[in-house]
């Protein structure tokens, strides 16, 4: 997030897209609702489903799945046509604006309606709400990123915020909502194939030298590694023969699960380190029992870049150990000694080699977390990014054209499938589906379908249904609801017995390599 969670309440307009905020980020969503109820903020919701946040929306747009670039370009077209853009901000703080202005000329409200299904007058009204606001914030999540054009989607939202002068100022910004408590922290620590901690590029000689000195190592690689989806293909080709998976369950969360299982079973060695015997652990050669959040000391870095302390409350059961202890001992046995005495010592090393974490220590975050960048011990942390100047100097516009999804409905597979989560379960359910209270709330996989589509395919509410794609089929329970838009069904991916990612395709965004999980074509019938 460029800005902080608390700043959401001060925004005059809030655009939420690709995020079922009340169910996926229920605490953060209270800031959105308070901004609307108590401060008269205008909420623009862009989502095909009638999610709970719709009740609070000033304007709700329902685009066809996979058409995000078109409607974002359409918003910018209207903002430019009506002179609602921030000319001084664009002139003083950005570059590349003219190319974007030329591209969005073609995205008239009428043209966008033909692509997205959003009525032209609704698009115009939403553009005015956003463009006229003194401060406007954008919130998004995986409904924007999990597409073959995910990078383009994010760049388009960045264009919108630059166009209206809403980056580098309070109560605004471009704000991706991280799903789990330490996803941001994992990325910050270099759990990506192209960077070290603090997003220092492996191709940068200065970064490599800093890491080499900190780790007392020579010969660090200068080329990026492989992404998760690229690892799957490399394993199938025999180029990767061993894989070590920590705290992740790709046998439910990755696309085209049949394809993934073939890759995992071809490995010479699969090691899984987790707190439960997940679906992925069931195909592993070695399982290492890790300790849960309540059984170890450490830090979490949350979605607003805030580094906070986590303290051990109970002892790990059985042979379970903290992840850092397992990794350190493995490394030592394999020839590189990691002799840390505590997580605090690891944090000191992080600060030494990571400029954005340079001023963070356990002593400083004992009571209150700090937001990075925090480069020195006397720095107060950073509530919002790019104040006065962007990290690269000027904010860069990108001219983006709309591209249709690689798979759309046809005669054989006439419906869109979208996937996601429900309030009472998290991700692959490895924790929540072991919680009796959560299971009591939602015990089985339900497929949301509109009344019109249910009648079209002779499906009764509560009846078992078979859902089929070009990659496989699953069964689920039908739920006829007005949350579903005609032509699209929704299935959560928490349920191993109805593993929806058997259906999704593995085609990837060419830049980020993220799979297009949010859009594929399916057929539905009574089971």
In whole angstroms, how far apart are CA 482 and each of 21, 49, 118, 353, 448?
A: 18, 8, 18, 52, 9
Per-residue pLDDT, 391: 87
Q: Are residues 347 and 447 in the same domain?
A: no
**Residues 6+ away with beta carbon under 8 Å from 35:** 8, 9, 10, 11, 14, 41, 43
CA-wise closest residue to 126 among 176, 174, 177, 77: 77
> What is the sign of the dihedral through the CA atoms of 450, 455, 456 and 459?
positive
Long-range contacts of range 198-206, CB-CB < 8 Å, 24 or more positions apart?
A: 198/354, 198/355, 198/356, 198/357, 198/372, 199/356, 200/354, 200/355
**Residues 6+ away with beta carbon under 8 Å from 453:** 415, 459, 484, 486, 487, 489, 524
Name 271's bridge partners.
244, 286
Q: Are residues 210 and 311 in the same domain?
A: yes
What's the rounded Cα separation, in Å, for the pair 435 and 41? 37
Mean pLDDT of 165-177: 96
CB 3 within 8 A of CB 172: yes
CB 469 within 8 A of CB 503: yes
CB 482 within 8 A of CB 475: no
What DSSP assignment string belongs to 290-347? B--GGGS-EEEE-TTSEEEEE---SPPPTT-B-HHHHHHHHHHHTT-------HHHHH
Per-residue pLDDT, 180: 83
Would residue 406 count as lying in a domain? no
- Average per-residue pLDDT in the chain? 94
What's the rounded Cα separation, in Å, for the pair 231 and 226? 6
Per-residue pLDDT, 430: 85
Confidence of residue 490 (pLDDT cuts 50, 70, 90): very high
Q: What angle do CA 48, 49, 52 make, to 5 degrees?
A: 135
Would residue 382 count as lying in a domain? no
Would residue 216 count as lying in a domain? yes
Would residue 396 count as lying in a domain? no
Q: Pick the more confident residue, 70 or 422.
A: 70
Q: Are residues 104 and 189 in the same domain?
A: no
Helices 109-116 and 120-132, interaxial angle, to 10°?
120
CB 183 within 8 A of CB 305: no
Longest CA–CA span in the chain (Å) reads 67
What DSSP assignment string belongs to 231-244? HHHHHHTTS--EEE
Q: What φ, ψ does residue 520 adopt, rounded to 5°?
A: -150, 170
Q: Are residues 302 and 335 in the same domain?
A: yes
| Model confidence at 83: pLDDT above 90 | yes
CA-wise closest residue to 428 among 441, 437, 419, 436: 419
Would residue 314 count as lying in a domain? yes
Residue environment code for 45-71, b if the CB has 16+ CB neighbours within 10 A, otherwise e: bbbbbbbbbbebbbbbbbbbbbbbbbb
Confidence of residue 193 (pLDDT cuts 50, 70, 90): very high
| Count of the separate structural domains present in the chain | 3
Mean pLDDT of 162-190: 94
Per-residue pLDDT, 170: 96
- Exposed, middle or buried: residue 270 (CB in 10 Å: 0-12, 13-18, 19+)? buried
Which residue, of 157, 177, 197, is where some domain finishes?
177
Would residue 401 count as lying in a domain? no
Per-residue pLDDT, 401: 97
CA-wise closest residue to 419 among 462, 476, 482, 480: 476
Q: Are residues 214 and 278 in the same domain?
A: yes
Residue ranges making up the domain that contains 480: 415-526
What's the rounded Cα separation, in Å, for the pair 453 and 408? 17
What DSSP assignment string belongs to 18-53? S--HHHHSHHHHHHHHHHHHHH-PEEEEE-SS--GG
CATH label of the domain that carries residue 108:
3.40.228.10
Q: Could you tell me whether strands 306-310 and 370-371 are parallel, antiparallel, or unpaired per DSSP bridges? A: antiparallel
Omega before 405 cis (within 30°)? no
Q: What is the pTM of this model?
A: 0.92
Q: Are residues 218 and 334 in the same domain?
A: yes
Q: Are residues 121 and 251 in the same domain?
A: no
CATH label of the domain that carries residue 511:
2.40.40.20
Q: Are residues 139 and 220 in the same domain?
A: no
Which residue, of 128, 162, 177, is where some domain finishes?
177
Q: Are residues 164 and 51 in the same domain?
A: yes
In whole angstroms, how far apart are CA 216 and each of 209, 219, 285?
A: 10, 10, 32
| Model confidence at 432: pLDDT above 90 | no
Name 200's bridge partners.
196
Q: Could you tell me whether strands 473-480 and 464-468 are parallel, antiparallel, or unpaired per DSSP bridges? A: antiparallel
pLDDT in tens, 54-67: 999 999 999 999 99
Residue 327 burial (CB count, 10 A): 18
Mean pLDDT of 200-227: 93
Report the run of H or E that residue 100 belongs to, with start and end.
helix 97-104
What's the rounded Cα separation, in Å, for the pair 352 and 365? 17
What is the DSSP secondary structure assignment for residue 286, as one 8-state letter? E
CB 56 within 8 A of CB 43: yes
pLDDT in tens, 239-270: 999 999 999 999 988 888 889 999 999 999 99
Per-residue pLDDT, 496: 85
Q: Are residues 156 and 237 in the same domain?
A: no
Q: Are residues 302 and 354 in the same domain?
A: yes
Percent of the chain with pLDDT over 70: 100
Would residue 381 count as lying in a domain? no
Helices 343-353 and 205-215, interaxial angle, to 10°?
150
Residue 502 burial (CB count, 10 A): 21
What's the rounded Cα separation, in Å, for the pair 204 and 406? 35
Would residue 379 count as lying in a domain? no
Residue 318 burial (CB count, 10 A): 6
Q: Are residues 245 and 344 in the same domain?
A: yes
Which residue, of 155, 177, 199, is where some domain finishes?
177
CATH label of the domain that carries residue 327:
3.40.50.740
């Amino acid at each position: 997030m460029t800005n902080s969670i608390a700043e959401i309440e001060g925004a005059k307009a809030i655009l939420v897209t690709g995020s079922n905020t009340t169910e996926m980020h229920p605490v953060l969503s209270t800031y959105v609702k308070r901004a609307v109820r108590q401060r008269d903020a205008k909420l623009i919701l862009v989502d095909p489903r009638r999610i709970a946040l719709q009740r609070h929306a000033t304007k709700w747009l329902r685009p066809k799945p996979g058409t995000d670039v078109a409607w974002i370009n359409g918003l910018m077209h209207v903002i430019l046509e009506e002179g609602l853009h921030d000319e001084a901000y664009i002139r003083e703080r950005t570059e590349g604006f003219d190319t974007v202005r030329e591209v969005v000329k073609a995205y008239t409200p009428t043209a966008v309606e033909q692509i997205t299904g959003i009525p032209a007058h609704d698009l115009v009204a939403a553009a005015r709400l956003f463009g006229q606001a003194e401060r406007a914030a954008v919130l998004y999540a995986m409904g924007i990123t999990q597409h073959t054009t995910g990078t383009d989607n994010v760049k388009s939202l960045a264009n919108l915020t630059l166009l209206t002068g809403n980056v580098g100022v309070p109560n605004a910004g471009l704000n991706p909502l991280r799903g789990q408590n330490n996803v941001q922290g994992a990325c910050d620590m270099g759990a990506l194939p192209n960077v070290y901690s603090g997003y220092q590029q492996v191709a940068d000689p200065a970064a490599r030298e800093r890491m080499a000195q900190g780790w007392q190592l020579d010969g660090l690689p200068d080329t990026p590694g492989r992404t998760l989806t690229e690892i799957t293909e490399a394993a199938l080709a025999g180029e990767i023969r061993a894989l070590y998976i920590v705290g992740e369950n790709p046998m439910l969360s990755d696309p085209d699960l049949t394809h993934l299982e073939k890759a995992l079973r071809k490995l010479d060695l699969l090691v899984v380190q987790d707190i439960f015997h997940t679906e992925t652990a069931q195909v592993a050669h070695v399982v290492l029992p890790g300790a849960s959040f309540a059984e170890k000391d450490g830090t979490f870095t949350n979605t607003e870049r805030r580094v906070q302390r986590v303290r051990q409350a109970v002892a790990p059961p059985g042979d379970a150990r903290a992840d850092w202890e397992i990794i350190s001992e493995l490394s030592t046995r394999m020839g590189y000694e990691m002799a840390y005495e505590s997580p605090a010592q690891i944090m000191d090393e992080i600060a030494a080699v990571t400029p954005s974490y340079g001023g963070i220590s356990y002593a400083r975050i004992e009571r209150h977390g700090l937001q990075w960048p925090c480069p020195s011990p006397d720095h107060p942390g950073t509530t919002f990014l790019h104040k006065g100047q962007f990290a690269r100097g000027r904010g860069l516009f990108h001219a983006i054209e709309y591209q249709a999804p690689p798979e759309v409905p046809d005669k054989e597979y006439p419906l869109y499938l979208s996937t996601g989560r429900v309030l009472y379960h998290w991700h692959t359910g490895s924790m929540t589906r072991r919680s009796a209270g959560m299971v009591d709330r939602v015990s089985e996989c339900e497929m949301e379908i509109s009344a019109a589509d249910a009648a079209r395919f002779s499906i009764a509410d509560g009846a078992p249904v078979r859902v089929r794609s070009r990659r496989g089929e699953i069964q689920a329970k039908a739920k006829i609801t007005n949350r579903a838009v005609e032509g699209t069904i929704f299935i959560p991916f928490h349920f191993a017995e109805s593993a929806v990612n058997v259906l999704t395709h593995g085609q990837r965004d060419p830049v980020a390599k993220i799979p297009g999980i949010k859009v594929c074509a399916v057929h539905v019938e009574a089971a």
